[in-house]
Amino acid sequence: MDKHIPVLLNETISLLNIRDGSVYVDLTLGRAGHSREILKRIPHGQLVAFDQDSQALEESRPRLEEIGSNFTLIKANFEEVKEKLEELGIHKVDGILADLGVSSPQLDQGQRGFSYSLDAPLDMRMDLESTLTAKKVVNSYSLNDLARILREYGEEKDAYRIAKTIVETREIKPLESTLDLVEAVKRSKSAKELSKKGHPAKQTFQAIRMEVNQETKTLERMLEVAPSLLAPKGRLAIITFMSLDDRMVKRRFNELTKIEGDRHGIDVYCKQQKEADYIAITKKPVMPSLEEIEYNHRAKTSKLRVIEAK
Ligand SMILES: C[S@@+](CC[C@H](N)C(=O)[O-])C[C@H]1O[C@@H](n2cnc3c(N)ncnc32)[C@H](O)[C@@H]1O
């Protein structure tokens, strides 16, 4: 069984304030690490869990069945959460969780092409039915688009140089494997850059993966719609692993919890003030303890933010 250690598990479950008899949505089922704990707490409630990776759903089903049968699994992108819940006749829910990014099994299964340390076809799709692969991105995007993606999604300093090497390489022979991409990155970096700590292709792989899975767009759409699905006192909890995602969540949560008309606490236009519809449950993001990081290195950059509907 492919293992995924759930991140910030106790913190997330406690901050979701789970009440039996209620409806909870896990937007990123993975290997059901968080969903199992939710299900244990709602024998009279309902869990609806999404994943765009059918393998995640297949492997999680028996893990959830060990606990109860009051759950529904949906293979879909979480940007469609509202429509998919409506199809089930659900209009409001009591809690929503999103634990963003890829799961450990996705990273560790060489053939999925997510890992820069395992030789595999350039794939990186979370949803194997989608048509955009990493191979398509690196072999067909323009130089400028590749450079932009590496800069914006990977925050890669050598974005233009790497994009140029990719384009020069594919003019001779298309890039086929993860190691072809790693080689192109290595050829673009100075000896000084290559001697730095961390894998030189880490940011490039992150950027291409984000493009393949359209992660920024889908997160933006989910952040737009998920808050409106919360019943009063319902909570939305989001775990991020990358600063770009965390900035998006932070900005959206600030927007939702801000009191309109309040200028930095100076009540100038008192009559124009409009109470916000949500309150911030976490004023600052919750981060993993040193013990958790030691036990699960992948938790290192995780941040949890939670809001509650009034
Ligand atoms: C970090 S893992 C979640 C792990 C899970 N919380 C656990 O403890 O087992 C993220 C999962 O979300 C899925 N995922 C990521 N983005 C998604 C999206 N936009 N729509 C649906 N599923 C998504 C991935 O396929 C992956 O299985």
Instruction: Please indicate, yes or no, whether residues 195 and 227 belong to a single structural domain of this protein.
Output: no
Instruction: Please indicate, yes or no, whether residues 221 and 82 belong to a single structural domain of this protein.
Output: yes
In ligand 1, which atom is closest to the CA atom of 30? Answer: 27
Instruction: Please indicate, yes or no, whether residues 100 and 150 belong to a single structural domain of this protein.
Output: no
Domain boundary among 194, 212, 230: 212
Has residue 116 been placed in a domain? no
Domain CATH code at residue 235:
3.40.50.150
- Going by pLDDT thresholds of 50, 70 and 90, the confidence category of residue 270 is low
Rounded to two decimals, the pTM is 0.94
Q: Give 142-198 pLDDT, tens digit per residue.
A: 999 999 999 999 999 999 999 999 999 999 999 999 999 999 999 999 999 999 989
Has residue 118 been placed in a domain? no
User: Rounded distance, CA 119 to CA 115, Å?
Assistant: 8
Domain boundary among 212, 239, 268: 212
Domain boundary among 212, 233, 255: 212
Has residue 110 been placed in a domain? no
Instruction: Please indicate, yes or no, whether residues 97 and 232 belong to a single structural domain of this protein.
Output: yes
Distance 155 CA to ligand 1 centre (A): 22
What's residue 171's pLDDT? 98
Q: Is the CB of 70 under 6 A from ligand 1?
A: no
Listed in sequence order, the residues at least 6 apart from 107 whose beta carbon sits closer than 8 Å to its beta carbon are: 114, 115
Has residue 291 been placed in a domain? yes
Distance 67 CA to ligand 1 centre (A): 20
Distance 100 CA to ligand 1 centre (A): 6
Q: ∠130-34-129 over CA atoms, to 5°? A: 10
Q: Is the CB of 33 under 6 A from ligand 1?
A: yes
What's residue 1's pLDDT? 43
Q: Quick one: average pLDDT of 254-274?
A: 66
The tally of domains found in the chain comes to 2
Nearest residue (by CA) to ligand 1, atom 3, is 30
Using DSSP, state whether 183 is helix, strand or coil: helix
Domain CATH code at residue 160:
1.10.150.170
